[in-house]
Amino acid sequence: MPRPHLPAWSALRLSHVLLPAAFVLLALCALPAQADKIPVFVSIAPQKFFVERIGGDAVDVSVMVQPGASPHTYEPRPRQMTALADTRLYFSIGVSFEEAWLPRIRSASPKMRIVAMDAGITKLMMEEHSHDEDAHGHDHDKDHGHAAAASHGHAAETPGKHDEDAHGHDHGHEHAAVPHGHDHDHDHENAHDHDHTGPDPHVWLSPLLAKQMAHTIADTLSEAAPERADFFRANLAAFEQELDALHNELLALFTPIPPEKRIFMVFHPSWGYFAHTYGLTQISIEYEGREPTPRIMAHLMEESARHGIRTVFIQPQFSRKSAETIASHIKGHLVVADPLDENWMENMRAVGKLLAQSFTQE
């Protein structure tokens, strides 16, 4: 049986369909790495929020410190160290585990660029809690709170040069290295045994400092993918507007509250930059990175009564035992304020509202 032939006009029409499709396919195959995502690693979840806000769908971000773990004592998993081999950028932020692990991370991926997201930020100092067993009589309002800001909305940070090559400052001055081989089973009774002096690493908990770090991110991503620089700059501008709106919202929340009432108690003093920015005072429960002694606990209970504190803030990464004891004594309650929440923007709003409510409750 003879084979049917397409009419000439049908063959012509088919060629008009197939040829353009072939050209499109060839063009797609020929696209440069521009369509590829930039693989990025960060130390903690809030950094992922920042990088994704600037990088959008151009980045693929992985977080080193896993949910529920403490960045003071974290040890990367073997699969994470393996994944670093394919990573182009690592954004550090000055948390304790980086001191011991960044050299190994660099060795695992020599071609990867390590960028200090906190470069150029003037750090607050975590007070050296010289509590002693015979006298715990120093003023917690100053010692634990990094001091209240003299005026609302003016943090102590000084914008500086963004050192984006390698790790522009020495984290060795920030925290003692985590000894290799230390048992990190993330038991909340012991996981917070860390150095509690030196520069405060919790810079991500201030919208003003987040704005500064956003510039470092945009600069770094633009260097990694110059063809997308306009995209990153547009995202930076939009993010800056969001941060300004958040900052003004928080200012409006705290400004009507008298400064002497803006005092809160928290187990681990993570919120120093937030407190400093908005004229608050934080009182830390932990003593030199450990549970407080009975004498210190007694003093903390006295302070909570003196300031009318009815809310004790805790973090998922740390023990709640002593916080529960204090809350029970003052007939108050515990509230979780997670400094490592990945949904950073909503978390800042939520914590701000919880703090404001705690200042005004009777």
pLDDT tens-digit map of 125-161: 886 433 333 333 334 343 333 333 333 333 333 333 3
Contact between residue 155 and residue 208 where contact means Cβ atoms under 8 Å apart:
yes
The region of weakest confidence among 4-18, 33-47, 99-113 is: 4-18
* Residue 8 falls inside a structural domain: no
Q: How many domains does the chain have?
A: 1
pLDDT tens digits, one per residue of 299-332: 999 998 889 998 999 888 787 788 888 888 888 8
At 227 the three-state DSSP class reads: helix
Structure tokens at 216: 């470092």
Q: What is the CATH number of the domain that holds 161?
A: 3.40.50.1980
Q: Name the more confident of 290 and 253.
A: 253
pLDDT for 202 beyond 90: yes
- Strand extents, DSSP E, 23-123: 38-42, 59-63, 89-92, 113-116
* Residue 14 falls inside a structural domain: no
| Chain centroid to CA 14 | 57
* Residue 148 falls inside a structural domain: yes
The region of weakest confidence among 11-15, 84-88, 235-239, 244-248 is: 11-15
* Residue 174 falls inside a structural domain: yes
- Strand extents, DSSP E, 20-118: 38-42, 59-63, 89-92, 113-116
Give the C-alpha distances (Å, rounded to integers) separating 260 from 94, 227, 359.
32, 52, 9
- Residue with structure tokens 């990367």? 76
pLDDT tens digits, one per residue of 46-103: 999 999 999 999 999 999 998 878 888 889 999 999 999 889 999 999 998 999 999 9
| Chain centroid to CA 147 | 22
* Residue 22 falls inside a structural domain: no
- Its domain, for residue 119, covers 35-360
Give the pLDDT score at 1: 56
* Residue 269 falls inside a structural domain: yes
